Chains A and B, each alone.
Chain A
């Protein structure tokens, strides 16, 4: 039981990271109907910028941990968002209205480009960082097995919940959210109603990149090691999460992320850790076969 609880906590933390990235996939898919294949790389760039920011603050001699966290969070979001914006502007916007596969292939190219770009600039070796804060709460103790919720895990989960709440408000209550939902339904009509479609789409990418940066920061803190290749697998799993939850749905992305995190944690704990990714992808295939709209997605009526 204790072991189960510990895996639950670990899976939840992992799921929070997946969920934040999944939101980026789901928003972009919702608004322009393409899989932003390079989104995993945006997350990887976010992780790098976060680690670099920590290193710079270390040089600058900032000793206060909360202070450092806030500054790094903001820096990572701002600089990563610039990457999100640029990717859309260069690789996707010229292809809007082009044939179906063109943006996706452009996105794959962008993903390969960004991976090698970071590898060239930062080196291929794994980058490591010491833990920023240690310790945690002991939730229960059972036959010598301690179930802990580390401060870091708590931070990740709380921050994710806060971001989700803020985001839901943003989409439901603000003019930007309205514009976004309008573009999602009908770009031409939205444009005729005076919505700047290009800017709305750009902002969607910026917001998605911002959340991916937060996820990057979290995994930098959580794992302490990053390299230029982390975006591929995590991106793939985050996309799986978005599909699992129902692509186009924000709560769905979060739910999907948490489920994938939990599946991975439990599979690794009770079965064979080597096959945990196989488990995640198998779930993707099964969900697509039996419930193509995902858990919270709305069914699509085929227009004839």
Chain B
């Protein structure tokens, strides 16, 4: 009723224009829906094509009403808001002074999660998955958010980390703690090797080259069967030990199991919890590292290069070296994450390292707000947990994912939390003084 009473305030001219726009949109929706939604190719090529008129009707009606509603909303509601600060920004400005406290509280919450009564195996496992993506997001944030290099093949370094870790473990019989840094070093080496020739390229060329590189790595992993096990991959990767304590029910002779050492009954969940804390530690390491390096000359150089490469060069910054350091360090963290991924799963194969994985990590960085550490957490939570919550919509997951990427870009091109903190301030100094005459 309230809506109906409010309606007369819209002038007939606006109404007519809105109708016109909605009709055009409906016409285009008809063009789009007719061939792909209205008609469906048969499963068996011998059968005839399936006609679904209702799908077209629904699509056209939805677009018509949606466009009409949008036009009316814009005419009535939006003008009064256009000058105001968007709601989200106002909320953020309110939260901003508390960000450190929120972050610490969040880390504490994450740290005690496995001890919570509701934390069963599935919850902790899911937590570990979120943390992997947070870590990957923070790693890629160095490359994309700070240095402004669009890397569409980040998953390649993740794969290099996972495979080099696995091969080191299996062929050289190294343990987790020795193989982990080596896996990161290998990934960084690949980053530098790829980066050296291509980092001179303009932004979008770099994107395509890194994408191509990601595909190349995947194709090589599939086809170099003697080393990588082909598309079957490599299985039975051992779980790491905690200061020599294994997480098996019956340890091999000469080894001590975790439950034996502490005199508690064996439980499979110990291993899960251990892995959870491991990735939490790795993720925090990534975070602390990025926060520190951002405030160092090299971190400021990354941002300067992102802002204006020509000016940066005129100040004596070597663009190739600066970019290479970002690219290599970003790759290194992907390598660490890859090693963890391999050891958590116990097996690896090329299908874990497709382009879509790169796109998800990139989406986490970009949707969260480029350069924002908190944004990465928020986006990783959204992207990993939403599909879990809405299991019934599993098949729409990637559709929504793609749509959300477009929508967030159109709505907030700089991401959800696009706050940037200065890396150095004169702070109290400037507050105490009046501007000189």
Bind each other: yes
Enumerate B32-60 residues with CB–CB distance to A below 8 Å.
32, 34-37, 39-43, 45, 48-49
A59-101 Cβ-contact flags toward B at 8 Å (1 or 0): 1000000000000000100110011011000110011001111
B19 interface contact, C-beta 8 A: no
Cβ contact of B362, chosen from A34, A53, A95, A108, cutoff 8 A? A108
**Number of contact residues on B: which range applies?**
35 or more
Cβ contact of B402, chosen from A116, A127, A275, A289, cutoff 8 A? A116
B61 interface contact, C-beta 8 A: no
Collect the chain B residues with CB atoms within 8 Å of residue A90's CB. Answer: 406, 410
A interface SS class: helix
Cβ contact of A125, chosen from B43, B363, B409, cutoff 8 A? B43
B202-234 Cβ-contact flags toward A at 8 Å (1 or 0): 111101110111011001101100000000000
Collect the chain A residues with CB atoms within 8 Å of residue B359's CB. Answer: 108, 112
Given contacts A35-B208, A102-B409, A285-B209, whether A120 and B395 have CB atoms under 8 Å apart is yes
Collect the chain A residues with CB atoms within 8 Å of residue B244's CB. Answer: none
A276-300 Cβ-contact flags toward B at 8 Å (1 or 0): 0110011011001100100000000
Collect the chain B residues with CB atoms within 8 Å of residue A285's CB. Answer: 197-198, 209, 212-213
B390 interface contact, C-beta 8 A: no
Given contacts A125-B43, A278-B219, whether A86 and B28 have CB atoms under 8 Å apart is yes
Q: Are A281 and B215 in contact (CB under 8 A)?
A: yes
B404 interface contact, C-beta 8 A: yes
Which chain B residue shows the least CB distance to A50?
Answer: B35
Cβ contact of B209, chosen from A34, A106, A288, cutoff 8 A? A288
Collect the chain A residues with CB atoms within 8 Å of residue B223's CB. Answer: 272, 274-275
Collect the chain A residues with CB atoms within 8 Å of residue B28's CB. Answer: 82, 85-86
- Distance A117 CA – B43 CA, assembled complex (angstroms): 17
- Distance A83 CA – B406 CA, assembled complex (angstroms): 15
Q: Are A58 and B48 in contact (CB under 8 A)?
A: yes
Q: Are A122 and B41 in contact (CB under 8 A)?
A: yes
B189 → chain A closest CB, angstroms: 17
- Distance A239 CA – B28 CA, assembled complex (angstroms): 28
Collect the chain B residues with CB atoms within 8 Å of residue A195's CB. Answer: none
Q: Are B48 and A128 in contact (CB under 8 A)?
A: no
Which chain B residue shows the least CB distance to A107?
Answer: B406
Cβ contact of A113, chosen from B212, B356, B403, cutoff 8 A? B403
Collect the chain A residues with CB atoms within 8 Å of residue B152's CB. Answer: 108
Q: Are A79 and B49 in contact (CB under 8 A)?
A: no
Residue among B37, B359, B409, B413 having the largest count of chain A Cβ atoms under 10 Å: B409
Collect the chain B residues with CB atoms within 8 Å of residue A253's CB. Answer: none
A136 interface contact, C-beta 8 A: no
Collect the chain A residues with CB atoms within 8 Å of residue B291's CB. Answer: none
Collect the chain B residues with CB atoms within 8 Å of residue A272's CB. Answer: 223
Which chain A residue shows the least CB distance to B212?
Answer: A281
Given contacts A104-B207, A109-B406, A288-B205, whether A95 and B413 have CB atoms under 8 Å apart is yes
Which chain B residue shows the least CB distance to A58?
Answer: B48
- Distance A76 CA – B297 CA, assembled complex (angstroms): 55
Which chain A residue shows the least CB distance to B395?
Answer: A120
Collect the chain B residues with CB atoms within 8 Å of residue A266's CB. Answer: none
Q: Are B414 and A110 in contact (CB under 8 A)?
A: no
Collect the chain A residues with CB atoms within 8 Å of residue B366's CB. Answer: 101, 105
Q: Are A109 and B150 in contact (CB under 8 A)?
A: no
Q: Are B355 and A232 in contact (CB under 8 A)?
A: yes
Q: Are B402 and A302 in contact (CB under 8 A)?
A: no
Enumerate B62-109 residues with CB–CB distance to A below 8 Å.
none
Q: Are A109 and B403 in contact (CB under 8 A)?
A: yes
B interface SS class: helix
Q: Are B208 and A112 in contact (CB under 8 A)?
A: no
Q: Are B405 and A108 in contact (CB under 8 A)?
A: yes
A201 → chain B closest CB, angstroms: 16
Collect the chain A residues with CB atoms within 8 Å of residue B266's CB. Answer: none
Q: Are A106 and B410 in contact (CB under 8 A)?
A: yes
Enumerate A114-145 residues with CB–CB distance to B below 8 Å.
114-118, 120-123, 125, 127-130
A55 interface contact, C-beta 8 A: yes
- Distance A49 CA – B41 CA, assembled complex (angstroms): 10
Q: Are B207 and A95 in contact (CB under 8 A)?
A: no
B131-157 Cβ-contact flags toward A at 8 Å (1 or 0): 000000000000010001010100000
- Distance A79 CA – B402 CA, assembled complex (angstroms): 22
Q: Are A116 and B398 in contact (CB under 8 A)?
A: yes
Cβ contact of B219, chosen from A117, A123, A277, cutoff 8 A? A277
B289 interface contact, C-beta 8 A: no
Q: Are A101 and B212 in contact (CB under 8 A)?
A: no
B177 interface contact, C-beta 8 A: no
Q: Are B406 and A106 in contact (CB under 8 A)?
A: yes
Enumerate A239-287 residues with CB–CB distance to B below 8 Å.
239-240, 243, 272, 274-275, 277-278, 281-282, 284-285
Beyond the given A56-B49, A98-B409, please list 13 additional residue pairs across the A-B interface where CB-CB is below 8 A.
A52-B36, A79-B32, A91-B406, A95-B410, A102-B409, A106-B410, A109-B402, A114-B402, A116-B399, A120-B395, A121-B36, A240-B212, A281-B212
By a beta-carbon cutoff of 8 Å, the part of chain B in contact with chain A is 28, 31-32, 34-37, 39-43, 45, 48-49, 144, 148, 150, 152, 197-198, 200-205, 207-209, 211-213, 215-216, 219-220, 222-223, 310, 355-356, 359, 362-363, 366, 370, 395-396, 398-399, 401-406, 409-410, 413-414
The 8 closest A-B pairs by CB, nearest first: A109-B405, A113-B402, A112-B402, A281-B212, A82-B31, A116-B399, A55-B49, A106-B409
> 11 A-B Cβ contacts within 8 A?
A49-B35, A79-B31, A91-B410, A99-B413, A100-B148, A106-B409, A115-B402, A120-B399, A121-B37, A236-B211, A281-B215
